[in-house]
């Protein structure tokens, strides 16, 4: 009886091994591609595909087209031409959706997110042009042309006031993530992660059958960057993080961050160090993260509470220099702070 039982077990295992070998081709293959876009911005894309297709060439071509539309670093891009001529008839599928998304965030954030802030960002030394010597009168002259209400558009064309300069750098990475995510979905792939420069969209589950897990950096202005402050599961949504702890310089003993307030024309000064925003798409997440970094802690919390389609994870400093957090109710179950 014992021998028979062992024989049956061996036979069952043999059948299982043969069955798995026969159906191995039915298992999706994990594809991981990496590269750079927008000059030096790294991207990482992972997806599970039954056919094992390598989509990198198509993805790189899409990113080149995207850059040729919305990059202010390219003199003849669609956005650069619009900035020069003040009128645009859309040549690509990218400009109009970016204008619509910008209008939504601009209105809901009361102008904290403003894609016309570019001239001030450049003047402070965070754009494609060299930093210039600034004083209050020059800032006042630049701020006259700030305001997305000076841009009008419909589904076919756009125009703006003379002197207004559009710059979508605050949302470009997020929007590029959406473009690639849509392309992957259109190819019938349902489980994937697209990350460009830290902005991410995740759909379905990873190769282990669990939701995608993303790290959120500790906001430290030290050479030892990259330490994680928290991890979060991403369940079929987008996540973008903005902070002042990476892109800054010191001038006369004062830290000048890359977040310039469209209200004042000066670098923001408050206790909010990092804003991670969850949204239905990454362009929205990216834009709202920027808005939060302009607004500071209290106003960001009010914005999050008034905008049901987004959630937020804010890291800020207290008066004694220690770190504290605010986590929206909707994402409290998926955020784990690393002790």
Quote the CA–CA distance of 173 and 169 in Å, as a whole number: 7
The answer to whether 54 is a known ligand-binding residue is: no
The answer to whether 178 is a known ligand-binding residue is: no
Quote the CA–CA distance of 238 and 273 in Å, as a whole number: 20
Question: Which residues are 196's β-sheet partners?
Answer: 43, 199
Quote the CA–CA distance of 139 and 299 in Å, as a whole number: 24
Half-sphere exposure (CA, 13 Å, Cβ side) for 289?
Answer: 31
Polymer length of the chain: 339
Burial of 337 (0-12, 13-18, 19+ CB in 10 A): middle
The answer to whether 290 is a known ligand-binding residue is: yes
Identify whether the C-beta of residue 238 lies closer than 8 Å to the C-beta of residue 281.
Answer: yes
Identify whether the C-beta of residue 233 lies closer than 8 Å to the C-beta of residue 334.
Answer: yes
Q: For residue 273, give both structure tokens.
A: 């160090």
Q: For residue 298, how many other CB atoms are within 10 A of its CB?
A: 13
Burial of 58-86, coded b for 16+ CB within 10 Å and e otherwise, reads ebeebbeebbbbbbbeeeebbbbebbeee
Binding residues, by number, are 170, 286, 290
Residues contributing to the annotated binding site for Mg(2+): 170, 286, 290
């Amino acid at each position: 009886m014992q021998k028979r039982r062992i024989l049956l077990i061996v036979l069952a295992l043999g059948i299982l091994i043969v069955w798995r070998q026969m159906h191995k081709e039915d298992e999706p293959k994990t594809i991981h591609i990496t590269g750079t876009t927008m000059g030096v911005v790294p991207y990482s894309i992972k997806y599970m595909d039954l056919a094992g297709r390598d989509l990198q060439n198509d993805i790189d071509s899409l990113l080149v087209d995207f850059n040729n539309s919305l990059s202010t670093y390219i003199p003849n891009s669609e956005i650069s031409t619009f900035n020069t001529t003040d009128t645009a008839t859309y040549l690509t599928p990218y400009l109009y959706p970016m204008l619509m998304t910008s209008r939504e965030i601009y209105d809901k954030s009361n102008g904290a997110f403003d894609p016309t802030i570019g001239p001030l960002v450049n003047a402070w030394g965070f754009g494609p042009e060299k930093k210039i010597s600034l004083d209050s009168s020059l800032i006042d002259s630049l701020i006259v042309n700030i305001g997305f209400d000076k841009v009008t558009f419909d589904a076919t064309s756009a125009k703006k006031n003379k002197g207004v300069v559009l710059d979508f750098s605050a949302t470009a990475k997020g929007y590029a993530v959406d473009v690639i995510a849509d392309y992957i979905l259109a190819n019938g792939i349902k489980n994937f992660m697209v990350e460009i420069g830290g902005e991410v969209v995740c759909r379905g589950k990873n190769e282990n059958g669990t939701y995608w897990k993303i790290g959120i950096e500790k906001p430290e202005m030290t050479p030892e960057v990259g330490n994680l402050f928290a991890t979060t599961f991403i369940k079929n949504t987008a996540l973008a993080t903005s902070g002042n702890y990476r892109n800054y310089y010191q001038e006369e003993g004062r830290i000048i961050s890359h977040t310039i307030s469209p209200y004042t024309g000066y670098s923001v000064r408050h206790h909010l160090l990092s804003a991670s925003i969850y949204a239905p798409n990454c362009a929205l997440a990216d834009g709202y993260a920027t808005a939060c970094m302009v607004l500071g802690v209290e106003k960001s919390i009010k914005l999050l509470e008034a905008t049901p389609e987004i959630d937020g994870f804010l890291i800020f400093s207290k008066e004694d220099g220690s770190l504290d957090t605010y986590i929206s109710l909707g994402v409290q179950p998926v955020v784990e702070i690393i002790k």
